[in-house]
Chain A
Amino acid sequence: MTYAAEISRANPSCFVFLVDQSASMSDPIGGGAQQRKADVVADAINRLLAELSVKCAKEEGVRDYFHIAVIGYGHTVGSAFTGPLAGRDLVPLSQVAEKPARVEKRVKKVPDGAGGLVETTTRFPVWVDPVANGATPMCRALSRAESLVSDWVARHPDCFPPIVLNLTDGESTDGDPASAAWAVQTHVSADGAALLFNLHVSAAKAVPVMFPDTDVALPDTYSRTLFGMSSLLPPHMRFYAMQQGVTATDLTRGFVYNADITSLVQFLDIGTRATDLR
C-alpha cells in the first residue's frame, strides 16, 4: 500500500513550495479581487505555514512532522524565506514556527455575533514576502525541487513521500517543464513516489478548473502540459477533497487552472493533506 506511511518525528515528511516570482505576478488576480497575484500567493503560503505549525503543535511544542522549503523563481531561483530563515531550503517545522521574519499586527473587522462588526487585531506571522520580478524559470525551479526531494528520500527511505506544490501564473521561460516535472516524481520512498501538484493563478475572470481528471476541457497546450505534469491525488487526498465538496475520481490530478483566491486556498489545503497526524 502506498501513501499510507505514518508521519512521525522519527519518520518525518517534507513539503517543497515553488512560488512563481516573475514580473507578471504583480498583475491583479482574477475573480474580481483587487489584489496582486504575488500578494495573494505570499499571504496564502504564510497562512499555510501558520496552519501547519498549529496542526503539529503538541504539549511540548511544535513537532517536526514535516520539513519545509519555499523556493521562489523569477529573477533568481532560491529560498523565498525572509528573516532568520533567509537562504535556507528544507527547515524543520518547529524552527519555521519559531522563526518567522516578523509578526504583523493586522486589524480587521469581524462580525461581533450580534449583527454588528467589530474591529479586532490579530498577530499574523510572516515568513515569505511577495516578489514580482523577472522571467519564469520553471525548469530550474523544478530541478531545485528535484534535488531537495532526491536528498530527502535518500535520508528517509521509509517516509510519507515528499509533496512539491508549484504555484505559477505563466509559461515556463526556460524550456519544456514536463521533463523536469516528471523527474521530480521519479524519486520515491518505500511508501510511494514524490507528488507534484501544480496551480495556475489567473489574472483573467475565467472559471477555475479544480482538480480535473481529464485535459479535454482545458483551453490550450500550456494548460494541458501543466495537467500532464501533475500527480494523481492519492486516495486519502481524494477522500478529503470529496469531503470538501470537490469532485474527485481515480484519475483526478493535483492541478488547478485559472485559480482565484478561494481555489488557491483549497488547493493548498487539499495538497498538503498528508496522512492523519496524531
Chain B
Amino acid sequence: MTTSPSFTWTSDEEPARSFPSGATYVEALQNTALCFRGTDLAGAEVRVDALGRPRAISGNFAGVFSLTVADGTRYAVKCFTREVREQATRYRAVGEHLARLDDDWTVGFDYIGRGILVEGTWYPVLRMEWVEAVNLVRWIERNTDDPAALSHTATRFARLVAELAAAGVGHGDLQHGNLLVCSDGSIKLVDYDGMYVPALAGLPAAETGHRNYQSPDRTAADFGPDVDRFSSWVVYLSLVALATDPSLWRQLRDEDAEHLLLAESDFADPTGSFRLATLTGHPDARLRGLAERFQDILLHHRAAPPPLEPLEPFDVVQPVKAPVPVIAALPAWMAERVQAQAHMPAPPPLVRFNRRTPALTVLTWVLLVLLLPFGVPAAVFVDEAMAIVDVSAVLAWTASTALGYRRQPEHSRARAARAERKRLVRARLAAAAHLTRLNLEARRIAQEAERSKAEQQRSRRTLQQRHNQRLGTHQRAVDEQLQRIDRDRQASAARMHLEEQRILVVRQKAHLRARLALFPVKTAGIEGMGPVLTANLEAVGIRTAADFVGVRYAMHGANRVAFFVLVDGSSVRAAGIGEVKAARIDQWREHLTTKAAGSGPTSLTPAERQILKDRFAAEKAGLDAQYEQVRNEAERTTRELREVLRAEQAALADELKAANTAIARTRVDHDRAVAEAAVVLERARQAAAEGVAQADAFRPVTYLGYLRFTATGRS
C-alpha cells in the first residue's frame, strides 16, 4: 500500500567535511523558510516537541524530522550528522534499483544533495514519504497476547526476506527500529543508508548494523545480497517463539531492552546463553527445532549463515486482505497452537478405560456372586479344602485382573504422565530451592560489597594518616634545625655586641689615660707635694695622673703604709709619701678621672663598627645559608613526601579499582543468575502445573477403577 514510491535524484558530489549535529539541525529547522529556501520544503511545517522545538527521531548518524508542506503532504526528512562516503552514489543506485521492484515493503524517497541550509552551508537530506506504522518492538508490545497476529508477522517477515533475496537486495541493518508494522499488518522497511543493491557490488558496507541483530563476525567487508541472513534468523526465530509462547517476551528480555528475544551476548557465547537454552529446551517441538537450527548456525556457520528456513512454505499462506477468519490463514504449525491456547485454562478431559475383557468380567461376577455369599461362609464353617479352593480362586482372579490392568494402554500412559508429573514437580522444587539459594547469596554479596567499601575508606584514611604522620615528623625535625640555627644566630649577634662593648671599654680606658697623662703631678698643686716628693714619685714611675690607678694601704709594723697601684697592677712605695699625702694624690686623680670620663667615647665610630661587622659577617652569612639550605631541603622533602603519597594513592586506586571490578562482575553475574533462575522457576511452575493437570486426567486410571470398569463397564 505504498503511495507510488518515487526515487529521484538531485545531487552534486560533496567533499569530505564535518556535518552539523542533531541539535544544530534542530536550530536550523526552526526557520524552514530559510533552511529550505528555494526547495519544495520551503516554509514546511515541522513537528515540534513540548518546548516548541523541532522534534527529532535520532539514529546513530542521522536525525529524522516530520515536515508537512502546504498541500498537506507529510514527509520524513532525514538529516545526516556524519558524512558517508559515496552517499549520493549509494542512494542513486538504491533508488534506481528499488524503482524497478513492485514490493510493498519499500518506502519512496528523494535524495537531495542541496537539501538544507545550516549556518550558511548546504547539506544533503533524504526526503521520504511518511509511513504511519510502529516499529517491531512496539508492535510486539501491543500484540504479545495475540499469537495469531504474531505468527502472521513471522510469516510476513519470512516473505519479506524472500523478496529481498529475490530482488538481490541486502538491507544491511535489519532490526526492530527499521521494521515498521502498518495497521493492516504489512511490513515496511526503512533506513536504506546501509543497503546493498547489485550496482553497489565491490563497495564496503556503510555501516555494520545493530549489535543485537548481527553476527559478531560481521565486518564492513560483508556487503552483498546475503548481508541480512543472520539478522533474518534472529528476527524470525524471535517472532516464531513469541507466537508459540508469549510469556517469553517478559521472561527473556528487560523492559525497554533494545533487542527481540536474543542479543549480542547470545551470539557471542551460544553455549553459555540462557536465552538460547530456553528456546532450544522449549516444550514446543517446532520452536525447539528452529532454535536448535539457529544454535547450530551460531556454533558452526556464524560467519556465513545459510538463508532463512521458514517453518512452512510461506507461499501456502494467503495474504490477509479481506477479513478472513484468522485461524484459516495461519500456517499449519500455528493453527493448532492457537486453537489449543484458546481453551488453555480448561483441564484436559479425563482418560477412561475402554478395552474390557469379557472373560474377566464373567469371572469377576462369578466370584462376586458365588464366592462372597457362599464361598466364604463355607470355607469358614464347612471345609478346609473349600477354603483352599476359595483362596486360590481369589488369587487367580487378582492375578488376572492385575495383569489385565497392566495391559490396558491407559495404564502405561497414566504411569508416564505420573512420572512426568513427579519429574516436573521435582524440577519446580529444585528451581525454587536454587532461587532461594541465590537470594541468600545476594545477601552475602551485598554484605561483602559493604565490607569492601568500608575497608576501602579505611585504606584511604590510613594512607592519608600515614602521610600526615610522616609530614609531621619531618616538619618537627625541620623546625628543630631551624631553631638551632636561630639560636646560633642570636649567640653570634650577642657575641658581636659583647665585643663592641669590650672595644668600647678599651677605647674609653685609652681616652682616660690620654687625658690623665696631660696632668703632671708637679703642676697639680697638691697640698704638701714639694719638688722632692714629686721627684720621689717620678722615681717610682709616677709622673702624671695616668701613671697609677689607685692607692692601697698596708700595715708596716705599727704604721699604715700607702702603696701606689700602677697601670700594670704592681704596687710601689714612694719615699716620703705617707697615708695622708697618698690619699690626697689619689683624690686628685679621682677628680681628674671623673672629669675625663665625661668626655670619653660612648660608642664606637662607624668605621670601627664596620670593621667589627665585617669580622662577624662571614659567621652570620654561614648561618643564614644554613638556614636557607635547611628550608629548601625541607621543601624538597615535603614535595617528595607528597609524591610518595600520590604514588601510594595511585597504587591504592588501582588496587581498589581491581577489587571493585571483581565485585561488579560478581554482582552482574549474580543478578543475571537470579533473573535466569526466576525465569526457570516460572517456567518450571508452568510446566509442573501442566504436568499435574495432565496426570490428573488419568485420575480414573487405577487398579480399583479398573476392577469397577471390569465389573460394570464404567470407569
Chain A interface residues toward B at CB < 8 A: 6, 8-11, 47, 50-51, 53-61, 97-98, 100, 103, 110-114, 118, 120-123, 125, 153-154, 157-158, 176, 178-179, 182-183, 185-190, 193, 228, 244, 269, 276-278
Contacts and interface: CB of A to CB of B under 8 A. Distances in A.
Contacts of A123: 30, 51-53
B668 A190 contact: yes
B59 A278 contact: yes
Contact of B667 (A51, A98, A157): A157
Interface in B435-459: 449, 456
A98 B50 contact: yes
Contacts of A58: 57-58
A193 B658 CA distance: 9
B122 interface: yes
Contact of B671 (A8, A157, A276): A157
A147 to B, nearest CB: 11
Nearest to B176: A278
B23 interface: yes
A113 B122 contact: yes
Nearest to A158: B668
Contacts of B56: 54, 57
Q: B interface, how many residues as a size bin?
A: 35 or more
A54 B52 contact: no
Given A6-B264, A176-B642, A183-B460, A188 B26 contact: no
B21 interface: yes
Contacts of B642: 176
Nearest to A111: B120
Nearest to B51: A103
B58 A187 contact: no
A147 B642 CA distance: 25
Contacts of B449: 154
A190 B667 CA distance: 9
Given A8-B258, A182-B650, A278-B258, A54 B177 contact: no
B660 A187 contact: yes
A198 B34 CA distance: 39
A122 B650 contact: no
A135 B122 CA distance: 46
Given A54-B63, A110-B34, A113-B122, A190 B665 contact: yes
A153 B25 CA distance: 34
A98 to B, nearest CB: 6
A50 B57 CA distance: 14
4 tightest A-B CB contacts, nearest first: A111-B120, A9-B256, A10-B254, A54-B22
Given A6-B258, A103-B52, A278 B60 contact: yes
Contacts of A60: 138
Interface residues of B, dominant DSSP? mixed
Contacts of A114: 37
B120 A188 contact: no
B122 A157 contact: no
Contact of B57 (A59, A103, A277): A59
Given A9-B256, A50-B23, A110-B120, A179 B649 contact: yes
Contacts of A47: 23
25 contacts: A6-B258, A47-B23, A50-B23, A53-B23, A54-B22, A54-B23, A54-B26, A55-B58, A58-B58, A59-B135, A59-B138, A111-B117, A120-B34, A122-B31, A125-B53, A154-B449, A157-B667, A158-B664, A176-B642, A186-B653, A186-B656, A188-B657, A278-B59, A278-B175, A278-B258
B18 interface: yes
A2 to B, nearest CB: 9
A49 B38 CA distance: 32
B512 to A, nearest CB: 66
A179 B653 CA distance: 9
Contacts of B18: 244
B60 A157 contact: no
Interface of B: 18, 21-23, 25-27, 30-31, 34, 37-38, 49-53, 55-60, 63, 117, 119-120, 122, 134-135, 138, 175, 177, 210-212, 254-258, 264, 449, 456, 460, 464, 642, 645-646, 649-650, 653, 656-657, 660-661, 664-665, 667-668, 671
A178 B646 CA distance: 7
A272 to B, nearest CB: 11
Contacts of A277: 58, 60
Nearest to A64: B256
A54 B667 contact: no
B30 A185 contact: no
A54 B30 CA distance: 14
A8 B257 contact: yes
A111 B35 CA distance: 10
A188 B653 CA distance: 11
Contacts of A125: 51, 53
Nearest to B37: A113
A8 B671 CA distance: 17
A256 to B, nearest CB: 19
B22 A51 contact: yes
Contacts of B656: 186
Given A118-B34, A122-B30, A188-B661, A54 B649 contact: no
B653 A8 contact: no
A244 to B, nearest CB: 7
B668 A157 contact: yes
A276 B656 CA distance: 29
Nearest to B457: A183
Nearest to A52: B23
A114 B63 CA distance: 26
A28 to B, nearest CB: 25
Nearest to A50: B23
A58 B138 CA distance: 12
A182 B463 CA distance: 14
A267 B30 CA distance: 27
A153 B665 CA distance: 11
A57 B664 CA distance: 30
A128 to B, nearest CB: 16
B96 to A, nearest CB: 28
A186 B660 contact: yes
A276 B31 contact: no
A10 B256 contact: yes
Nearest to B669: A190
Contacts of A182: 649-650, 653
Given A57-B57, A178-B646, A278-B258, A6 B212 contact: yes
A85 B449 CA distance: 32
B432 to A, nearest CB: 25
A10 B667 contact: no
Contacts of B60: 276-278
Given A123-B52, A125-B53, 4 more contacts: A54-B21, A59-B135, A157-B668, A182-B653
A273 B177 CA distance: 22
B211 A6 contact: yes
Contacts of B51: 97-98, 100, 103, 123, 125
Given A55-B22, A178-B649, A120 B30 contact: yes
Contacts of B256: 8-10
A157 B650 contact: no
B656 to A, nearest CB: 4
A53 B645 CA distance: 42
Contacts of B27: 122
A116 B264 CA distance: 51
Contacts of A11: 254
Contacts of B26: 50, 54
A188 B664 contact: yes
A47 B23 CA distance: 8
Contacts of A193: 657, 661
Given A103-B51, A123-B51, A157 B649 contact: no
Nearest to B60: A276
Contacts of A118: 34
A185 B657 contact: yes
Contacts of A111: 117, 119-120
A190 B23 contact: no
A199 B302 CA distance: 45
